[in-house]
Amino acid sequence: MKSLTLREQCMNPDDPEMGNSYSNFGHGLIDLGQYQEAQVYYQRTIDVHERSKTPSPDLLERAYSCIGKSMLYIDRLEEAEY
């Protein structure tokens, strides 16, 4: 968490690399079984990539997929957006 906080302080919040950092942190939370917390970071990933001047459809798709996967883990797949 400390490294993510440092990146937030040093980088532009709209930098796609910041979105990638949020996504990576979300992956770590998934590995720890913290699925709902991971969703927060995946949503941040989506927000960053949507605000980006050069959004990447692949990265957005991956972030939405990760949110869906976390919803599956907590048995709330029917709430996932399509």
For residue 6, how many other CB atoms are within 10 A of its CB? 10
Q: Where are the alpha helices (DSSP H) in the chain?
A: 2-10, 16-31, 35-51, 57-73
The CATH class of 2-79 is mainly alpha
Alpha-carbon Rg for the chain, nearest whole angstrom, is 12
What pLDDT does 37 receive? 96
Which tens digit of pLDDT belongs to each residue from 16-66? 889 999 999 999 999 999 999 999 999 999 999 888 877 778 888 998 999
Q: Name every residue whose Cβ is closer than 8 Å to that of residue 21 and which is 6 or more positions away in sequence.
A: 4, 7
pLDDT band at 82 (very low <50, low <70, confident <90, very high): low
What pLDDT does 81 receive? 65
Distance CA 68, CA 77 (A): 7
What pLDDT does 79 receive? 79
From 11-20, 57-66, 72-81, the region with the lowest mean pLDDT: 72-81
The two tokens of residue 78 are: 């029917």
